């Protein structure tokens, strides 16, 4: 069985994908605005969680290898946290790491 992997369309950067999917202009604008807000909110939340982890590492004078062992992740992943590489983590993963160090997360 052959899997179809042909690319049929590429959306250009900055184009409203919802318009391209056939939504009415007003609905496409609303959907795009909503999705941008959700993306921004997620990014901000990840940054806050990473900041908590980074602060904990600094306050405990831990080397990245030591923090990695405690957080149960690789040393390069600690570097990603310290350098705020939010795209490399899910919110769940960050919450789980905070839980491992005794910092439960409460969303308000």
Phi, psi at 49, each rounded to 5° = -65, -40
Asked if 103 contacts 59 with a C-beta cutoff of 8 angstroms, the reply is no
Do the domain assignments include residue 8? no
Asked if 89 contacts 81 with a C-beta cutoff of 8 angstroms, the reply is yes
Residue 11 DSSP symbol: P
| Band of residue 10 on the pLDDT scale cut at 50, 70, 90 | confident
Do the domain assignments include residue 27? yes
Do the domain assignments include residue 25? yes
Instruction: Give me the domain span that covers residue 24.
Output: 17-100
DSSP-derived 3-state class of residue 76: helix
Number of domains in the chain: 1
Calculate the CA dihedral of residues 55, 56, 57, 61 and round it to 10 degrees.
100
State the average pLDDT over residues 65-70. 96
Q: What is the pLDDT of residues 44-62, one digit of tens each?
A: 999 999 999 999 999 999 9
CATH number of domain containing 73: 1.10.260.40
Do the domain assignments include residue 4? no
Do the domain assignments include residue 106? no
- Of 79, 81, 80, 72, the closest CA to residue 48 belongs to 81
């Amino acid at each position: 069985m052959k899997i179809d992997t042909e690319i049929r369309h590429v959306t250009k950067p900055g184009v409203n994908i919802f318009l391209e999917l056939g939504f009415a202009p007003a609905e496409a604008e609303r959907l795009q605005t909503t999705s941008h807000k959700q993306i921004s909110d997620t990014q901000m939340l990840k940054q806050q969680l990473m900041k908590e982890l980074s602060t904990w590492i600094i306050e405990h004078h831990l080397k990245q290898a030591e923090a990695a062992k405690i957080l149960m992740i690789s040393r390069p992943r600690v570097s990603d946290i310290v350098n705020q590489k939010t795209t490399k983590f899910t919110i769940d993963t960050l919450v789980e790491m905070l839980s491992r160090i005794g910092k439960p997360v409460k969303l308000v």
